[in-house]
Amino acid sequence: MKSILKLVALLVLAVAFVYGGIWQWGFCRFYVKPNQMAVVTTKSGKPLAAGQILAEKGQKGIQREVLGEGRHFRNPIMVEHIIMPVTIILPGKIGVVTSKVGNELPAGEFLAGPGQKGILRTVLGPGKYRLNPYGYKIDIVDAMSVPIGYAGVITSLSGQQAPPGEFAGNDQKGVRKDILQPGLYYVNPQQYNVDVLEIGVNQVTLAGKLGGQVVTKNRLEGQSAAMDRLQSAVFEEQRAKRDSYISKSSMLTRKTPAPVAARTAAERLRGTQQADFGFSKGYEANNTLGLAEFVEFPSRDGFSISLDMSVEMELLPKDIATIYSRYGDLPALVDKIIMPQITSISRNKGSEYRAKDFIVGEGREEFQNDLTAALAATLGEKSIVVHNALIRHVVVPEQILDPIQQASIAIEQDLTNKERQNTAKKEAELNTEVSLIDQRRMQVEQETRKLKAEINADQEKQVAEIKAETTKRVAEIQMETAVIQADTVRLLAIANANALKLVEGARADGFRLKAEAFKDPVAFTYWEMAKNLNPDLKVNILHAGDGTLWTDLEKATLGDLGGSTLMRK
């Protein structure tokens, strides 16, 4: 029985080895490398429903879930797999996902949510994604980069159309009130359209009969090549939109060059060469929009006047969405609002002045102030801030320009002569003042020397007085010191005498009191003598019996003690 169990165990181990070691490892194993994925197709299971593309677990067909990096084991008889690259979205890019699976969208909708078929509202940011390519399509596009000095106006492309004249709200189609500040945004271009518009100060220039231009701010260079590339793409897209508008507009078009004679006269008056302005691919380099509009009007005295002027305007971030919703991009704003107002107000105001007023500085300044105030009031109602309207050049007819110039030259010549006379007079006054200055300088020098001598004498006098006072004070102090020293010696002598008197008197009184205490002068004397004996003195008392005094005296002597021996018989 035991042998049968062992045999069965060996057979099980053999089967396990063959299945696990040879079949699984040799035939079922496959490896998915980094940045790759495996799309699995099962050959058995429940059939897919009508219209279903991806299979769930337990269904037959292409599985929704893909296999990631690493080692996997699948039965090659029941399962097939295909190795495909994963989707990698780099920084500055987004992935727009189109789902091929899910429920159909409602009528009129083209953006899908979770579980719906179509373009998904949510985009994929930078990263690595494993979405089954049979069920999902990923389009990689640039993220939206709003440069510094610009704002992004958002137009929603999905939902119900917003009421006319109102901003679009949530789930509505139209221009939204909120704008994008400078930065990088992962915006679904199928859901929102973002137009990058200049904010801050821009300049509209009217170059007389040669036309005009709109000069916008230069684009700031970013800190990275990737951001510069994104911004260039945004500007290129915006340029294409403006180019399309300009090609359809009647005002912002490519200009036909002016006749040579007319240009030469105008350029001679302007004192510079003026080139044609065209809106082409060079827009981003020179930031210029070409205009076919110019300002020309009759003066009050019937002469034709052409103006070369610049208007500095500012578009505020809080108003940029309103301006865009009403008028459109910058070319449309210039075409529909700014240029008509500039030309209309310039002609109305200019017709109130004589031709001479545009040549003489005071008249031109008055016209410039009136024009600035009128433009600021009119365009301010449309959320456009006007800072200045500068008249740079004025082109007037030759028949009035020459007499005015001659008169101006004569006036200037007369002013020059008067100024020369004034200059000569001022030179004479200057020479007089120089002489007076030299005279005054010498006087000051003499007064300075006198003052220095007086100061030195006064200082010497003060030094002598201080020295004498110091010597006197030293003598007085020395005298006072001698008196004090004499008093000190006298007082010390008196003190010593008194002390000696007191000590000796006290000592005498002490002897007197001791003598009175003994009541016997001899006893007192003995006591004094005993008190004054050598403290090293020793007294030995020997008691002798019968015998000879001289024989006992030898024994009684203690010479080594250095003292005396008294014998008593």
- Average pLDDT of the residues in 495-519: 81
Is residue 212 in a domain? Answer: yes
Is residue 21 in a domain? Answer: no
Residues 388 and 406 in one domain: no
Which one of 396, 426, 445 terminates a domain?
396
Residues 51 and 138 in one domain: no
Pairing of β 295-298 and β 288-291: unpaired
Instruction: Kindly report, residue by residue over 401-439, the tens digit of the pLDDT.
Output: 677 667 777 777 888 888 888 888 888 888 888 888 888
Q: In what order do the strands lie in the sheet with 36-42?
A: 61-62, 36-42, 79-85
Is residue 8 in a domain? Answer: no
Is residue 5 in a domain? Answer: no
Residues 97 and 212 in one domain: no
CA distance 127 to 87: 8
CA distance 484 to 477: 10
Token pair for 29: 């194993």
Is residue 445 in a domain? Answer: yes
Token pair for 569: 């018989």
- In angstroms, the Cα distances linking 118 to 64, 102, 138, 172, 481 are 17, 8, 12, 19, 121
Structural domain including 102 reads 87-142
In DSSP terms, 520 is beta-bridged to: none
CA distance 194 to 122: 17
CA distance 227 to 184: 9
Is this prediction's pTM over 0.75?
Answer: no
Region of residue 228 (left: phi > 0; alpha: psi -120 to 50; beta: else):
alpha
Which one of 396, 423, 445 terminates a domain?
396
Residues 447 and 461 in one domain: yes
Is residue 201 in a domain? Answer: yes
Is residue 522 in a domain? Answer: no
Residues 340 and 297 in one domain: yes
Whichever domain contains 296, its CATH number is 3.30.479.30
Residues 61 and 92 in one domain: no
Residues 482 and 538 in one domain: no
Higher-pLDDT residue of 523 and 163 is 163
Asked whether 75 and 88 are in contact (CB, 8 A), the reply is no
Residues 320 and 443 in one domain: no
Residues 108 and 40 in one domain: no
Residues 208 and 302 in one domain: yes
- Average pLDDT of the residues in 286-307: 70
Q: Helices (DSSP H) in 251-296: which residue ranges? A: 260-270, 283-286
CA distance 111 to 103: 12
Instruction: Kindly report, residue by residue over 193-252, the tens digit of the pLDDT.
Output: 999 888 888 887 776 555 555 555 555 555 566 677 777 777 777 777 777 776 766 544
Please name which of 158, 144, 156 lies closest in space to residue 111, comparing C-alpha atoms.
158
Number of domains in the chain: 5
Which one of 142, 175, 210 terminates a domain?
142
Residues 377 and 437 in one domain: no
φ, ψ at 404 (rounded to 5°): -65, -40
- CB burial of 109-135 (b: ≥16 within 10 Å; e: otherwise) equals eebbeeebbbbbeebbeeeeebbbbbb
**Percent residues over pLDDT 90 in the chain:** 22
CA angle 242, 283, 243 (to 5 degrees): 20
CA distance 113 to 122: 8
The rounded mean pLDDT for the chain is 78
CA distance 309 to 437: 52
Is residue 173 in a domain? Answer: no
Residues 421 and 308 in one domain: no
